[in-house]
């Protein structure tokens, strides 16, 4: 495999790997280190890339494992959601923009309170828009566990967000 082919295959994945790692470790520089480690490992193992059925899933799984290792060693916290999620509409009034920013901040705080597995499943499905079977492969859990964790995470976030918005807490 040439450098050009390698670059072409991994350039599209780099941002997704970075966002996923950032969600786990909570630090941009550390996430960049994780992604760099993944790219280096993939380059070192480039001759065996044909063994992987899904290169993206393999890279995501490697990113997850390295990120968890880094997080455990450094005890980093999650990145704020407003740095990961970009506003879909810039046409909102200033009031709506402030309200949206507050909602994103609340969601970040609520996601930080979820279990690690629920937080990772929600990140991969709702932010990275990955398929259930890909998430199951990456996290090494069953498809049913993916669905249950996602359901519970969304339900918890929804209920707590409604409480915050209803009572202004």
Domain assignments of the chain as residue spans, ordered by start: 3-74, 88-167
Structure tokens at 55: 């290169």
Q: Give this prediction's pTM.
A: 0.53
Mean pLDDT, rounded, of the chain: 80
Residue 42, pLDDT > 90, answer no
Give the largest Cα separation in the chain, rounded.
59
pLDDT classification of 109: cutoffs 50, 70, 90: confident
**Ranges 41-50, 78-87, 115-124, 136-145: which has the least confidence:** 78-87
Q: Looking at domain 3-74, which of 1.20.120, 3.30.465, 2.60.120, 1.10.1740 is its CATH number? A: 1.10.1740
Phi, psi for residue 137 in degrees, rounded to 5: -65, -45
Banded model confidence at residue 92, pLDDT cuts 50, 70, 90: low
Highest CATH level, class, for 88-167: mainly alpha
**9 has a pLDDT exceeding 50:** yes
Which ranges constitute the DSSP H helices of 45-142? Answer: 55-74, 81-84, 94-113, 116-122, 132-139
């Amino acid at each position: 495999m040439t450098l050009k082919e390698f670059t072409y295959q991994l350039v599209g994945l780099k941002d997704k790997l970075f966002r996923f790692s950032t969600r786990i470790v909570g630090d941009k520089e550390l996430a960049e280190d994780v992604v760099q480690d993944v790219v280096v490992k993939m380059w070192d193992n480039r001759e065996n890339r044909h063994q992987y059925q899904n290169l993206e899933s393999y890279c995501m799984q490697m990113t997850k494992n390295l990120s968890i290792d880094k997080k455990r060693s450094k005890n980093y916290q999650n990145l704020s959601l407003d740095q990961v999620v970009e506003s879909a509409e810039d046409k909102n009034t200033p009031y709506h923009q402030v309200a949206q920013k507050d909602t994103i901040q609340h969601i970040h705080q609520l996601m930080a309170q979820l279990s690690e597995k629920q937080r990772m499943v929600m990140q991969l499905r709702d932010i990275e828009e990955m398929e259930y079977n890909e998430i199951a492969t990456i996290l090494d859990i069953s498809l049913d566990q993916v669905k249950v964790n996602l359901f519970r995470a969304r339900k918890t976030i929804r209920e707590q967000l409604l409480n915050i918005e209803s009572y202004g807490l």
